[in-house]
Structures are given as C-alpha cells and as structure tokens.
Amino acid sequence: MNPSPVSIVMPVHNAEAVLEETVKSVLEQSFGDYELIMVEDASTDGSRDLMYKLAGEDSRIKVLVNEGEHGAAHARNMGIKAAKGRYLAYLDADDLWHKDKLKKTLRFMQERDASFVFTAYEFGDENAKGTGRVVHVPKELDYAHALTRTIIFTSTVMLDLDKLGKKKVLMPPVPSEDTASWWRILRSGVSACGLDENLVTYRRAGKSLSSNKLVAVKRIWYLYRRQAHLNLIKSVFCMFGWGWRALARRI
C-alpha cells in the first residue's frame, strides 16, 4: 500500500469534550487520502479511550501514546517521526477544519510549488461557533516579517516534507514551540505562502483572551531573546509590531 499523501498530526491532552467533533471535521474532508496521527499526552480524562474508539472506526486514524506529560512539542514530534505522507498538516484537538481545507491547501501548495503554506482562519467561541472575526493572511511571509506578526496559526499549516525534511520541521521544546518552529524554517531561506481563505475555526474559551495576555507576552519575548537571538532594541521593536498586530486581530 502506498503511503497517504497527507499526514495529519494532532496532540491530545484532556480533550475528551471536544475531540470527537474535531476528528469529525477531518473525516468529513472532501480530500480523503490522509492518515490522522493522534498523540495522547498524559490526559487525565477519557481522551485515550475515545482516541482508541475513533481509531477502531476508521483505519486512517492512528494512536500514539506519549508516556508522561512532555507537552505539545514532544507530542507533535512523535507524530512527525511516525508520519508516512509527503505532506504534513497540523490540527489541534479543539479546532475545526472546514470541509475543503485539505483539498484547497494541497492544491494551492502544488500550484505555487510551495514547501510551506498557511491559511486564513476564524476565531470561534468555546463551542467552536464562528464569531465572524477572520484573520486574513499575506500572500507571502519571510523570516524578517514573521518576527513582527505571529500570524501563522498551527491548525492552518501544511508542509512539504520532501522539500523540507523531517529534521527541519521538528519543534523545539520551548514555550510557543509552534512559532519557534516557523521561525526556524523561515530563517533557512524558505518563504511561507499564504492562502487567504478561511478554512479553519480556532476554538477559544471565553476567558482565554484576558488570562493569557501576560503569558503570551513573556513567551514571545523569550523567543526574541533566546530563539531568534535578537538584541534588546530589535526585540523591543519586534515586540511592538507583534503587540499591535495581535491587538488588531482581536478588535
């Protein structure tokens, strides 16, 4: 059997309440040649049992268990290493894909001969109901511009592993590991191509906007200083740009 063209990696931690709906959004994709690799990461609810149940209902679903709580980066890296497809897509366990997400992203990637693609997305409430606030994306994003606008949302990303290689896309074990990973890829000279079509709903709890502000600021500052190795002045400049754009996306 030939490997599936697309490998979807999904870390799962205490997602029992939303996981079935998220997986359903994958199973209902108009493009069906994929494998869904769910990586269980120390859940204390019924996530693991539900994962095995779903895997038993569709042979495209595979379950890996990340023994001990190592976090999303470690879980995603387990999935990446196990992936058999040429194309790698990410989906968080509480987000939803629109029906044509895979088909349109893959077609766009092939038309642009791109190695890194990301799409627009919509903020949803705690029930993943769209709020009407859509985050639009630029046609292209290079490393320098990515530093001041963390606009790449993980559940929208697709990567070509034949062009990038697995080693380059493994995520570092740091806070905001996804952003750090995008920067590392872009820093190598790759440009990310933006498909400005809303194909993903980003589920957010009602309290997340206010409670996570300080955490987000600390994480992005850490990335500027420790991952991108920017000096103080450059870090402040990038932080201002990041903060302004982050605020604009939410109002």
Section 79-89 average pLDDT: 97
pLDDT at position 251 is 56
- The predicted-structure confidence for 206-227, as pLDDT tens digits, reads as follows 554 445 678 888 888 989 998 8
- Establish if 71 belongs to a structural domain: yes
Section 156-176 average pLDDT: 95
Residues in the chain, total: 251
Provide the number of structural domains found in the chain.
Answer: 1
Compute CA distances 83 → 63, 73, 74, 180, 245, whole Å: 12, 15, 14, 21, 34
- Establish if 203 belongs to a structural domain: yes
- Establish if 148 belongs to a structural domain: yes
Looking at the DSSP assignment, which residues form a beta bridge with residue 203? Answer: 124
pLDDT at position 95 is 97
- Establish if 233 belongs to a structural domain: yes
Task: Return the axis-axis angle of helices 232-249 and 213-222, rounded to nearest 10°.
Answer: 140
Contacts 24+ apart (CB under 8 A), 57-62: 58/27, 60/4, 60/32, 60/34, 60/35, 60/36, 61/23, 61/35, 61/36, 62/35, 62/36, 62/37, 62/38
Confidence grade of residue 186 (pLDDT, cut at 50, 70, 90): very high
pLDDT at position 162 is 97
Average pLDDT, the chain: 91
- Establish if 1 belongs to a structural domain: no
- Establish if 146 belongs to a structural domain: yes
pTM, entire model? 0.91
- Report the CATH number that the domain containing residue 83 is assigned in CATH: 3.90.550.10
- Establish if 30 belongs to a structural domain: yes
CB 242 within 8 A of CB 150: yes
- Establish if 47 belongs to a structural domain: yes
φ, ψ of residue 35 to 5 degrees: the values are: -120, 140
Domain that holds residue 95: 6-249
